[in-house]
């Protein structure tokens, strides 16, 4: 009997522990849910007063209390959008497309995702988002209008991209032509410089040959003059000897005996 009483007491303690744990978890969950609602309510108030930065902080706090809060996530995306943080808004709305609980909420998430992408000029992605929105709510006139607008903007973007490409291609062609002309001009200049240099070398050579030839001619003329002078001197000497005006040198002759 004693063992049975001890076993019964053990079972009672375990049951109480489980009940206490469940009560604690329930209280903790209820407290977080209350805090989540509180932050969302404060965020909504800030949003209405156009204090979007403060609203962003409160919605983020709500998500810290409940990361699966659809309202907190959706409203945070709106707060990002109002601050022109379109990349962050798009990421936020994209994430809640997996949390939507109905076609209506899913349609709204995709609609806002399309708007965020539209503002980021990602028109092709925006069209896909609007398509998904219309799949869940075909009667949404706002989404239909935005879809048509995104189509027009995509067409303009593609035309502009084509014009920019054509402009760039034309510029590249002009640059290539200028480069070819410059290269040709440089080549022509090099050829001209080379020709001018050769002409100068040829001219210098001709001048040197001419100078050399003139020097040779001068040397011949000088030699002729010298020769003529010598001949004249010799003739004069002979004439003087004939007249006895020039005496020869006397040499002492020794007898060889």
DSSP class of 176 = H
Handedness of CA 42, 48, 49, 53 (dihedral sign): positive
Residues 6+ apart with CB under 8 A from 115: 81, 126, 146
Handedness of CA 21, 24, 26, 32 (dihedral sign): negative
pLDDT at 176: 81
Query: Domains along the chain?
Result: 33-160 (1.25.40.10)
Angle formed by the axes of helices 141-242 and 103-119, to 10°? Answer: 20
Q: Alpha-carbon distance 181 to 192, whole Å? A: 16
Both structure tokens of 49: 């007063």
CB 117 within 8 A of CB 147: no
Given a cut of 50, the residues of the chain with pLDDT beneath it are 2, 19-29, 237, 245-257
What is the DSSP annotation of 143-154?
A: HHHHHHHHHHHH
pLDDT at 111: 96
| SS3 state at 52 | helix
Q: Alpha-carbon distance 99 to 89, whole Å? A: 16
Rounded to two decimals, the pTM is 0.58
pLDDT at 147: 96
Q: Alpha-carbon distance 174 to 171, whole Å? A: 5
């Amino acid at each position: 009997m004693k063992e049975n009483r001890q076993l019964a007491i053990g079972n009672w303690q375990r049951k109480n522990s489980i009940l206490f744990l469940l009560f604690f978890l329930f209280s903790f969950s209820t407290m977080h849910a209350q805090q989540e609602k509180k932050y969302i309510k404060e965020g909504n108030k800030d949003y209405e007063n156009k204090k979007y930065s403060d609203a962003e902080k409160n919605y983020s706090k709500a998500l810290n209390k409940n990361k699966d809060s659809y309202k907190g996530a959706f409203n945070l995306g709106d707060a990002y959008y109002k601050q022109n943080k379109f990349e962050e808004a798009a990421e936020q709305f994209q994430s809640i497309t997996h949390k939507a609980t109905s076609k209506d909420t899913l349609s709204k998430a995709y609609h806002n995702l399309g708007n965020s992408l539209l503002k980021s000029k990602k028109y092709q992605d925006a069209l896909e988002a609007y398509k998904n929105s219309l799949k869940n709510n075909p009667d949404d006139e706002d989404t239909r209008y935005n879809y048509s607008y995104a189509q027009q903007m995509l067409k303009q973007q593609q035309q502009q991209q084509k014009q920019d490409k054509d402009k760039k291609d034309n510029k590249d062609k002009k640059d290539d032509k200028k480069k070819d002309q410059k290269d040709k001009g440089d080549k022509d200049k090099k050829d001209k410089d080379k020709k001018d240099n050769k002409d100068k070398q040829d001219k210098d050579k001709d001048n040197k040959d001419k100078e050399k030839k003139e020097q040779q001619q001068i040397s011949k003329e000088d030699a002729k003059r010298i020769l003529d002078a010598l001949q004249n001197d010799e003739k004069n000497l002979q004439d003087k000897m004939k007249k006895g005006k020039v005496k020869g040198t006397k040499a002492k002759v020794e007898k060889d005996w």
